[in-house]
Amino acid sequence: MRLGIIGLPNSGKTTIFNALTGANRPTGATSTGKMEVFTAVVPVPDPRIDKLSAMYNPKKTIYATITYTDIGGLEKGISAGGISGELRNQLQQVEGFIHVVRAFEDETVPHPDVTIDPARDLNTVDGEFLLADLITVERRLERMVEERKRTKIANPTQYETEAELLNRFKTQLDALQPLRDLEVGEEELKIVRGYGLLSLKPVLVVFNAGDQPYDFGHLAYHHQKTRVASLQGKIEAEIAQLSGEDQALFLAEYGIAEPGSRKVIRESYELMHIHSFFTVGPDEVRAWTIPLGATAQESAGVIHSDLARGFIRAEVTPYADLIALGSEAEVKKQGKMRLEGKEYIVKDGDIVHIRANV
């Protein structure tokens, strides 16, 4: 899963990238409009994996991961003629966005619009994406009309389905509302998958508070597939540079239970409507990422395609039962391990062992 970190110039998105990934990229430079992209893969903090690893003492412990891409080049007014080139390519490739909004004062880092106004900046980027999508939709509808004039449509039903969907999108965009607020079915998503519609993607808005807390409760920002968080980017980036013991001492000194960046990483993960099941044993304790609603057979395929093809059944133990009872032997004795078929919907935290004919 890949999420793009975006924001207006001098919003501190590179600081947030450093906080989330532990990178140490230079910050504070005023944007030159040059296209810059930096990527890092980050494990998703999960105390359940920590406890399972302590229980099994495996050779390897593997967490779920997120790939963050710091995407530069997004500025006010950039969508007037439609976003194109490398920036559009990068924005299209990610599955969702971390939208960094500036909420900190710093005279050494001037704001492009002079004043600090998070609500304005949030609406500015939203507006750029809405306009870019509207241009894309209108151009496609115009091409479809021309195609119909020039030649006979090979599949009229498919043509009408796409036209109806795009007109529904146009109505939404004309109302200045993001496409992610619409209910769009999986088959409809396939129709527009190649269009790179930006406001259709899930968004985690992160207010970058610098070194002071920021309360965003007064902002009315309610959309589907959207989460909102605040992060003291400057402090969190410093914490991310500390080693394990030094970091623990720093957190204890300031009374911080855990770095805020870990919460944002988990929010990023949950934003995408995915969750984890676990496989455990002396060789490996591992978190596997699946969509919400994935079946046991589909989950088996995430581990290996052969397990899905030869699926017989799944041994399933809820994480809470294993921790409460202390061992697999006790779980079986208490009848808490279940045998489930291929249509079983795997729950978040299920510990799964696949039986397959391979």
**What pLDDT digit, counting tens, does each position of 15-56 carry?**
999 999 999 888 765 445 567 789 999 999 999 999 999 999
Alpha helices (runs of H) in the chain, residue ranges in sequence order: 13-21, 47-56, 85-93, 118-150, 156-174, 186-192, 233-240, 244-253, 260-271, 296-303, 305-309, 319-325, 328-333
Per-residue model confidence (pLDDT) at position 139 = 94
Signed CA dihedral, 323, 324, 327, 333: sign only: negative
The reported pLDDT for the residue numbered 73 is 81
Domain locations along the chain = 293-356
Q: Could you give the CA distance from residue 337 to residue 315 in angstroms, rounded to a whole number?
A: 7
Q: What integer pLDDT is reported at residue 34 of this predicted model? A: 60
User: How many CB atoms are located within 10 Å of the residue 185 CB?
Assistant: 9
Q: Model-level pTM? A: 0.90
**First-to-last CA distance in the chain?**
28
Mean pLDDT, to the nearest integer, of 142-167? 91
In the predicted model, what is the mean pLDDT of residues 206-234? 90
Question: What's the pLDDT at 278?
Answer: 98
Mean pLDDT of the chain: 92
What distances in angstroms separate CA 44 from CA 1, 18, 20, one per listed residue? 11, 15, 10
Instruction: Name the strands in the sheet holding 37-43, side by side, starting at the edge strand that comes first in the sequence.
Output: 37-43, 65-71, 2-6, 96-102, 203-208, 226-231
Longest CA span, the chain: 73
What is the CATH superfamily name and number for domain 293-356? Beta-grasp domain (3.10.20.30)
Burial of 265 (0-12, 13-18, 19+ CB in 10 A): buried
- The pLDDT of 155-171, averaged and rounded, is 94
- Mark 24-38 as b/e (b = at least 16 C-beta within 10 Å): eeebeeeeeeeeeeb
Of all residues in the chain, the percent with pLDDT exceeding 70 is 97
